[in-house]
Amino acid sequence: MRSLLKCAVLAGAASMASCATTTFVSTWKAPDAQSLKGEGNKVLAVVMTQNPSSRLSAEDALAREITRMGGQGIAGYTLLQDEPTKDETSAKEVLEKAGIDIIVAMKPTAKEQQISSTPTATPAYWGGGYYGYGWRTAYSPSMNIQTDTILYIETMVFSMKQNKLVWSGQSKTTNPTKIDSLVQEVAGAVADEMKKQGLI
């Protein structure tokens, strides 16, 4: 249980938001992981960020999404108001007393800007005579410049019954803007991956 808690509190989702696209960079499943279907439905949504208000918003959003999917989502801050690693024994007692079955933890791991350019064509018309004939259909190239923000998030799923990390995935989301939408999209992608691997 100690190792489970130590891993769980390292996870979180920070100042995050609505997504344009979310894809997985990598996923991992514990070789001996058992299905989580029979382990109960109390799921703790853990989010770790330096900004307390961002943590509250993200954990609320994740808990709502877990509930929407059929579990009983519980925002982590309602049980663990301080950083759990400060007192693992107390954190363990709190989670066991609350009957937590599964912990879903997210944390941002990187943020980057990607600049891309695509050529465009604009007409360059010349007036009258020879130039009107020769240059009327000529085009001068120009460029469209686009800057995308890429947010990488690590999601980890812990089983209290198995006392271990059973699944993790590294995802990237392009141009996030709202916390609720981002959490919903990432959580949905995680659920789809875990279903494919027979964990839920």
pLDDT in tens, 33-62: 999 988 888 999 998 778 888 899 999 999
Indicate whether 178 pLDDT > 50: yes
- In 10 A of CB 108, how many CB atoms? 20
Q: Which of 1 and 28 is assigned the larger pLDDT?
A: 28
pLDDT of res. 115: 84
Instruction: Identify the domain containing residue 27 by its residue range.
Output: 2-117+152-196
pLDDT of res. 197: 93
In a domain, 29, yes or no: yes
CA 26 centroid distance within chain: 13
Q: What is the CATH number of the domain that holds 89?
A: 3.40.50
Rounded Cα gap, residues 154 and 131, in angstroms = 60
In a domain, 78, yes or no: yes
Indicate whether 75 pLDDT > 70: yes
Indicate whether 173 pLDDT > 70: yes
pTM of the predicted model as reported, rounded to 2 decimal places:
0.74
Average per-residue pLDDT for the chain:
80
In a domain, 163, yes or no: yes
Predicted confidence band at 2 (pLDDT cuts at 50, 70, 90)? very low
Rounded Cα gap, residues 101 and 38, in angstroms = 10
CA 174 centroid distance within chain: 11
Q: How many domains does the chain have?
A: 1
Region 6-10: mean pLDDT is: 39
Indicate whether 12 pLDDT > 70: no
Indicate whether 30 pLDDT > 50: yes
pLDDT of res. 10: 38
Percent of the chain with pLDDT over 70: 74
pLDDT of res. 114: 83
Alpha helices in the chain (DSSP H): 2-8, 52-68, 88-98, 129-135, 179-196
Pick from 1, 20, 33: nearest CA to 151: 20
In a domain, 144, yes or no: no
pLDDT tens digit sequence for 114-131: 887 776 655 555 555 555
In a domain, 128, yes or no: no
pLDDT of res. 134: 52
As beta bridge partners, residue 116 has 146
Q: Which of 21 and 158 is assigned the larger pLDDT?
A: 158
